[in-house]
Amino acid sequence: MAIRVFHRDHPSLRLPLISKDARFVIWPGVGAWDANLNYVRLEPGEANVPHIHVQSEDTIFILEGEGTIHDYTNDIALPFHAGCVVHVPVGIKHAVKADRGSNIVSVGGPSPADVPLLKAAGALPADAAPPAAAT
């Protein structure tokens, strides 16, 4: 496989459980199984559906705005603003909320790609799997 260039305005998947404007740019649907990059815009008052990545760490870089990351597993809420990086360990139930009066624009996502969540959301077929490694 060769190097490729992607643009956020031409994603191959949008996932409403993340936001009305969640664009999956790098994900298994484009052949990237070990990395994932989403471009997400949350409007004021909008929030992710609380979710868990059972096999992935989630890292989110906040480009614009401010909000709160809710950790439901540990019953905590942490504020963030532009320039912050939110890191969610494997297995933590969480949601990002634009609850501080501004839009949030972020990039990032689960790594490796959250295949179980993508299958459950219908974005990948049940039998989807990374290609066998060349030996």
* 115 has pLDDT over 80: yes
* 134 has pLDDT over 50: no
Distances (CA, A) of 103 to 54, 77, 125, 129: 28, 18, 33, 35
* 126 has pLDDT over 80: yes
Residues 27, 28, 32, CA angle at the centre, nearest 5°? 70
pLDDT digits (tens, 9 = 90+) for 68-105: 999 999 999 999 999 999 999 999 999 999 999 999 99
pLDDT digits (tens, 9 = 90+) for 9-60: 987 899 898 999 999 999 999 999 998 999 999 999 999 999 999 999 999 9
* 106 has pLDDT over 90: yes
CA dist., res. 91 & res. 11, Å (int): 27
Looking at residue 10, what is its pLDDT? 86
pTM above 0.85, yes or no: yes
Mind listing the domains of the chain with CATH numbers? 13-120 (2.60.120.10)
